[in-house]
Amino acid sequence: MRKILIIVMLIFFNKIYGQVTTRSFDFILVIDEKIPSGSITDVKIKIMGEKQTLVNANYFPGNLSIDEESYNQLFSSSTKAIFVIFVFNEYRGNEHKIYNYDIELKKPWLKDNYNILQIYNLDKSKYKGRFDPIGKGKNYNYELTSPSHSFRLIQRKT
């Protein structure tokens, strides 16, 4: 009986100490001038380096978090590019619209105290005539603001 108790305790303590620790970023998403709550899903971080790694992430308004090992990989010298990938679900009346985003983030931005990522969906008339898409098949554009960085990819049409 004592051996069973010791084995159970070892398994229990291994689970406690084996839990993954997470690291968080103060990260605010603003989509079409609104902070979405509960409508962001499938959040992932794509790390491009010697190989491509796709990491599960968690997001709620103001917080983006990943596991400690992935966090360390983000800031590795071998990391060439970082992307945040997620799905935004929007409900307008009886209509359900799904938007997929794939946005590059820079290492210095992630080291800042906070980041505000503002996304503009170009299928909406308010933004369609004012901004260009960021690329083929990506009908959106974005800006990023933080205390020491400001990135504006938005281009005015002429």
Instruction: Spell out the domain ranges in the chain.
Output: 23-152
Provide the pairing of β-strand 115-121 with 140-145: antiparallel
Contact 11, 3 (CB under 8 A): no
DSSP state at residue 147? S
Average per-residue pLDDT in the chain? 85
For the cut 80, the answer to whether the pLDDT of residue 87 exceeds it is yes
Q: The whole model's pTM is what?
A: 0.81
| Residue 87, strand partner residues | 41, 100
pLDDT at 133: 87
